[in-house]
Amino acid sequence: MELYHESCLGCSKLVTNNYSTSFSLGIRMFNKRFRDPIYAIYGFVRFADEIVDTFHKFEKAQLIKQFREDTFRSIDEKISLNPILHSFQRVVNHYAIDYELIDGFLISMEMDLNKKTFNREEYEKYIYGSAEVIGLMCLKIFLEGDQTEYERLKYPAQQLGSAFQKVNFLRDIQSDFEERGRVYFPQVEYSDFSNEQKLLIESEIQSEFDEALVGLKQLPKGSRLGVFVAYLYYSRLLKRIKKFSAKEVLKQRIRISDLNKFLLLIYSAFRYRIRAI
């Protein structure tokens, strides 16, 4: 079985590297024992996201329904012939990740099938399922069964996941609307997105980053640097987005260059070495 386990994990790692250079960079900063479980989680969430975002010629509702059934069956039976699900179920079972977190994530993916605009309650529900629960799954891994610490650091982990997702929404507001017809921010009309609305969203995100940083600094040593790299990347991305007007954000996808990503990595490692994080 060991060869099968390793082969399945290799698939999760390949998916991670192919889909996200930034996330892959952060994973390399984790202690070795944390890397494989995080690859398994990312592979799982990436595949579910692909179903709702790119499988346009197929029956998405049926595919996500089947994915949900296969996910929980693999967890219960502790095996799957789907390599991504096999790697994921091993992590879920080993770290006792709550079914409620997985269900919350899948609900948010199901929302993407039909929802095009969101009120505040739907928005918060979507953020929880698509982002906050991912942070909580990772926290389960980093704390390796310490439930007391999990409860203590749960809120800042959720804040960090939420901030990441909202930065993504700002960065991708053009493609989300033009390619999928979605506007996630409540009370925001794509054709009438104002600088005032953008400033309010940015302020909300910044507040979440500030609260998340407090918890980030209390993570176990083997996970802190990797999470800080991701935090720094997204906070710098937010800083860059702030320089553009609402109308400019609607016309382009704001990015951070590969060179700057590399410089952020060096800066993060330096901060970690001098114990500034």
Residues 6+ apart with CB under 8 A from 272: 224, 225, 228
pLDDT 10s digits, 8-29: 999 999 999 998 877 777 788 8
Token pair recorded at residue 151: 């409860």
Q: Is the pLDDT of residue 274 over 60?
A: no
Sign of CA dihedral 120, 124, 127, 130: negative
The count of structural domains within the chain is 1
| Rounded Cα gap, residues 212 and 160, in angstroms | 5
Q: What is the mean pLDDT of residues 88-98?
A: 97
pLDDT for 158-211, tens place per residue?
Answer: 999 999 999 999 999 999 999 888 999 998 999 899 999 999 999 999 999 999
Q: What is the DSSP string of the chain?
A: -HHHHHHHHHHHHHHHHHH-HHHHHHHTTS-HHHHHHHHHHHHHHHHHHHHHHH-TTS-HHHHHHHHHHHHHHHHHHT--SSHHHHHHHHHHHHHT--HHHHHHHHHHHHHHHH-SB--HHHHHHHHIIIIIHHHHHHHHHHHTT-HHHHHHHHHHHHHHHHHHHHHHHHHTHHHHHHHH--B-STT--GGG--HHHHHHHHHHHHHHHHHHHHHHTTS-HHHHHHHHHHHHHHHHHHHHHHTS-HHHHTTS-----HHHHHHHHHHHHHHHHTT--
pLDDT attached to residue 23: 75
Confidence class for position 271, pLDDT limits 50, 70, 90:
low
Domain CATH for 35: 1.10.600.10
Domain containing residue 102? 2-273
User: What is the per-residue pLDDT across 216-233, written as a single tens digit (0 to 9) for each?
Assistant: 999 999 999 989 988 989
User: pLDDT tens for residues 24-78?
Assistant: 777 888 999 999 999 999 999 999 999 999 999 999 999 999 999 999 999 999 9
The overall average pLDDT reported for the chain is: 92
pLDDT value for 265: 67
